[in-house]
Structure 1
């Protein structure tokens, strides 16, 4: 039966029905809630024009904003009225037809609103607002019942959350479409209502194709022959649950037995007489009241004005408002993954608790701004420190995660994806930070908004993937051994895409390896064992050589170097983006050769060529300083491009994951601390030293630093690094111990 199904996702037809009714209910509500905020200026101009056309002598409208606020509130008056119509419409027309009736009301309201624009009459607009509120509230109330009654019990939470997903999506879309530069202008705001009318009309065309709620059908009086009555319910159950005819008939019998024994529906008065019904109704009202009073109404209705009041320009505030709405959409997507896993009660308790803290933070920040009215660079400094902490932790753990989860035959290419994205981000950042794009005084904050959106998207996707098999195998066996092994097997099968039998064998090998030495090494104890010490030192040496190869100076000062060799600002910015593109090209080449030639040859060859290219860069910079010849500057750009290409092909990506291949599972975390510490110390130090020399010695200081850095940085890994391609740690350990015995 369906109760035993593992999947929490609804059947396709149930999901389709939930999506359709959500577009006709929750989507409309969120859209209507948002569009009057960013487009407020356009609506007030419409109100002004209507007032003046009805009373030509009245040009002084001192209370126009207050009158507009009253018109906006009419939507909620209609919503309150519509709430009392939910029950009669749902009982009289049924769930499906009740939603259809309410959507017809919305379409009629949208038509009235569009008409009010063309005849410039705000009174008609006010009537349409009330009707829209009535129609949307009825559709939202009935849609929730429709989805709950039609969904199988095992996925009812996710099915019901589709309403919420569409609500938050509509808020996000509405915030974008209602921007003054898109459709929130005086001449175009009526397109917003045309858009909603098209959505609702499409829903009206599709809804007749779905079945009525099985529970509603079972609660009706038996007017036909019992077999016909049961057949209708069975067809609806089979449609939504996607189960066999026999299972559907059994489910239909259970529904009929349940609903025919208590068929008389409760009224809005009688629902208070039964203790159980009274308790459920009260709890639902309390949750709804807490939701409405949590501050979301103020945020959604006045976020645009709040952002304007704290110093943002109109266009900036509109984009920031859309970004705020995006987080609502992200939140509901996360909720779909956890609502049927952790339950409703813990989710409500935790989120309401955090909302209280966030409300305090919002109030405090608004008060702080009203008192100071200043832009605080100290806060920016704190944010930079936190950003460094977060990125370093994520880079260290990500390298371990990928190394431990990837099959040995493709570990190099998998690990290089980190490097590919690193170089791609440098290229994209170089373009986006051009002064004429987002690198200006008014727009630089968009760069951080872009990163925040990327990170939020990652947060939404990450819960869907499995934990690293090696990490799972290294944990203490807290459950039954079969459950413990099953988790590891599922993870191996997920990442390696092999058969169940092969995955179980691999899981057994992991358990045997990691359970014998399960205690993780600390950042101190990792130095006690010769093999672990050697692997950690080699990883640190590769990381040091990478950081001191000159790439820090290239990335930090390429723009200034190009400016110093005679380029204009815009030309230097474009050339800098071209240089970054070569880094991206280099990492793409590396993905083709890293698992073919191996790690050691790649490092030896790239470090060797990097030394030559560094000499060429130094020579060209000296030649320009002596001749001031523009042709020399073009050769310099070419040399820097080659440098970035070679760096991205070898030391750049290899330094991120080579340590994980050299040490066992138990000390990867500790070794990663040391290698990332080397990067964190060396990169800013080389940046500081080159900045110091630039300030005191000029362009010659930068070239001298490049030369010295690479000279001291690229020798160690070449001599001592073992080949790790296609080999596990145990094989490398055996080779190390064999060589140690021979040396004795």
Structure 2
């Protein structure tokens, strides 16, 4: 057995800093305990919770104070005792902190019931003292707490570094609960803040959001990824089908061409779907368009599911075109529908939900596309046909939810239906202020009338809005997100991942994408759209630059493939925070009702043409430039970042009229539309929508 590591020598300044922090912590905790003892009038339920947190902090400070004064040289009894006390106190402190946050949430958000029951306090005691005690006793009994040579602490004992499962116990005795607290506290804060901002996520609004996003956006993500796993099986099916008809196999060039057509039909259909957005949403409404769009999902699901039985690869190609039209419509109509349903303080969060379900769809396709599930000879038609299930559910459930109140009021002129929809969505009867804000938007746009795409592109009053959408939607697709996924498998293999395990690592990357998009849902109203765009594109730029260097050096430096994996994960995180979800949300926010359908047609066309372009030319760029192809994507990221910093304003918590006032100044116009000067007579701010 190797001798224990020598203790880390603490310089006097380190020891002094730790001792000072322990003293200040003990002083603060002691004052809270003293006030509770001396002034009975202050002994409210909330202050009792602070008392228990103070007791945990006081015990923690005392254990650290003793630990940093001692020069432990081995697992002595006082080393184990000090480590056990600090473990128990620290873990308890995290639990009491979350308990206080939960109590505030129940007090503020659920005041109708209120957390007045004494059983809640007892539950806090059981969890906040009991769980840390069980973990500490288990750690001491199993001899996991002991001498750590001060490698992970500053002079005190914690987890014995000789323990083989030390990482697990480091998580169980503190770090896991610390990370959970860091995640839970911001979520509770956001929930409280949303309540303070009055408008809340009602069951009707929440269910309408989930049904619209699952029935439409989920399919987009699913069909992006579903064709990747069974690619070789489908090529073999193409070849066998051709042989059965002609008596000979397809030559390699023709097979590659057929497969390229099958893949490219999806973005081409997306482009066609984007061109259909304006006419459909103006004629059928937002909800009506989503219901109509299910035709372009259910029919291709049947075609793809039956293609093997029918011995027809043409059915797959036609189905890919139709499902692309479905994706083109849904990627534009769902953000528009949800943006018009949501109150202004929830518009950002609900606007990110479609992107969340796109990532969930990608992850679902990656999981179902595992070779042990559906990516096999018997299962690949089912894998492709599953896309019809969300569409069928949406077709059954969405009719029971409201149409966009803005569409009903501004375009259908149905005041009664619009107010009924608002009452259902908001959960209260007083919707006059929001109705007035929608009427003001209508007044501001009456002179413009119907705005076609050509008229939109010619209007000086909408110049910077159009440029911003083109730049952001182009930057979203041209920033290399598809190229990153193209390179991912190769990078995983070079890092030592077994070929049969790459599919699981790819699914893990998809899970990271989902997780970060969930984070974007919660932080978009806190940090704002502009900040997330700047942060996301900056992370993508950095990841592309480092990835270029890592790919160039991975054959000469053994650990470079791991840097490449870190770059892929970092890029996915950055793109999921801003570039993926925010551009479509901004189209809803920076255009008013009459110009919004045409704006979505422009933005959607740029999105799908850019997607198609990258898929078409990236293989040639990759052959010509190799690893240096990511320099091109890095330049696009940095240019989009600069444009966002200089031009794109923050839109969170603003009404549509207020946002248009910002762009009116940027466009050097005195009103929203040059044909009529009405906006200048509006008050500086109007009622929340």
After TM superposition, the score normalised by the length of structure 2 is 0.51
**How far, CA to CA, are the matches of 1:170 and 1:208 in structure 2?**
23
From 190, 215, 230, the equivalent of 2:415 is 230
Deviations 1:273-318 (A, max 9, x none): 3323232122112111111112112234564466457764442111
8 Å CA contact retained: 2:419, 2:435: yes
Structure 2 CA distance for partners of 1:310 and 1:185, relative to 1, 3 Å: farther
8 Å CA contact retained: 2:304, 2:385: no
Q: Match of 1:256? A: 439
Structure 2 CA distance for partners of 1:173 and 1:377, relative to 1, 3 Å: same
Q: Match of 2:473? A: 288
Deviations 1:325-382 (A, max 9, x none): 111111111112211111111111111011101112223333333x34x8549979xx
**How far, CA to CA, are the matches of 1:4 and 1:187 in structure 2?**
51
- Give the superposition deviation at 1:182: 1.4
From 312, 326, 331, the equivalent of 1:121 is 312
Q: Secondary structure at the match of 1:85?
A: helix
**How far, CA to CA, are the matches of 1:43 and 1:8 in structure 2?**
50
2:519 pairs with 1:328: no
Which stretch shifts more, 271-280 or 59-68? 59-68
Deviations 1:498-519 (A, max 9, x none): xxxxxxxxxxxxxxxxxxxxxx
Q: Match of 2:295? A: 104
**How far, CA to CA, are the matches of 1:306 and 1:338 in structure 2?**
31
Structure 2 CA distance for partners of 1:377 and 1:179, relative to 1, 3 Å: same
**How far, CA to CA, are the matches of 2:349 and 2:443 in structure 1?**
28
Q: Secondary structure at the match of 2:294?
A: helix
8 Å CA contact retained: 1:103, 1:139: no
From 209, 217, 228, the equivalent of 1:37 is 228
**How far, CA to CA, are the matches of 2:387 and 2:291 in structure 1?**
15
**How far, CA to CA, are the matches of 1:196 and 1:118 in structure 2?**
18
Structure 2 CA distance for partners of 1:102 and 1:304, relative to 1, 3 Å: farther
**How far, CA to CA, are the matches of 1:56 and 1:378 in structure 2?**
46
Deviations 1:662-709 (A, max 9, x none): xxxxxxxxxxxxxxxxxxxxxxxxxxxxxxxxxxxxxxxxxxxxxxxx
Structure 2 CA distance for partners of 1:110 and 1:157, relative to 1, 3 Å: same
**How far, CA to CA, are the matches of 1:66 and 1:314 in structure 2?**
27
**How far, CA to CA, are the matches of 1:378 and 1:80 in structure 2?**
37
- Give the superposition deviation at 1:62: 5.1
Structure 2 CA distance for partners of 1:236 and 1:270, relative to 1, 3 Å: same
Q: Match of 2:545? A: 360
From 335, 346, 368, the equivalent of 1:144 is 335
Aligned residues: 370
From 186, 209, 213, the equivalent of 2:400 is 209
8 Å CA contact retained: 2:550, 2:560: no
**How far, CA to CA, are the matches of 2:498 and 2:435 in structure 1?**
59
Q: Match of 1:623? A: none
2:274 pairs with 1:83: yes
Deviations 1:378-409 (A, max 9, x none): 979xx9xxxxxxxxxxxxxxxxxxxxxxxxxx
8 Å CA contact retained: 2:215, 2:394: yes
- Give the superposition deviation at 1:94: 0.6
8 Å CA contact retained: 1:179, 1:315: no
Q: Match of 2:388? A: 197
Structure 2 CA distance for partners of 1:108 and 1:378, relative to 1, 3 Å: closer
8 Å CA contact retained: 1:96, 1:213: yes
2:342 pairs with 1:342: no
Deviations 1:26-62 (A, max 9, x none): 2111111112222222222222222222321236435
Unaligned 5+ segments in structure 2 are 1-192, 567-689
8 Å CA contact retained: 1:25, 1:139: yes
Q: Match of 2:144? A: none
Q: Match of 1:19? A: 210
**How far, CA to CA, are the matches of 1:304 and 1:54 in structure 2?**
35
Q: Match of 2:583? A: none
**How far, CA to CA, are the matches of 2:360 and 2:400 in structure 1?**
25
Listed as ranges, the matches of 1:572-721 within 5 Å are none
Structure 2 CA distance for partners of 1:378 and 1:94, relative to 1, 3 Å: closer
Q: Match of 2:504? A: 319
Deviations 1:405-454 (A, max 9, x none): xxxxxxxxxxxxxxxxxxxxxxxxxxxxxxxxxxxxxxxxxxxxxxxxxx
- Give the superposition deviation at 1:253: 3.8
Deviations 1:467-488 (A, max 9, x none): xxxxxxxxxxxxxxxxxxxxxx
**How far, CA to CA, are the matches of 1:59 and 1:294 in structure 2?**
36
Q: Match of 2:483? A: 298
Structure 2 CA distance for partners of 1:230 and 1:7, relative to 1, 3 Å: closer
Q: Match of 1:158? A: 349
8 Å CA contact retained: 2:200, 2:426: no
2:240 pairs with 1:55: no
Structure 2 CA distance for partners of 1:4 and 1:10, relative to 1, 3 Å: closer
8 Å CA contact retained: 2:423, 2:431: yes
**How far, CA to CA, are the matches of 1:359 and 1:39 in structure 2?**
29
**How far, CA to CA, are the matches of 1:299 and 1:216 in structure 2?**
39
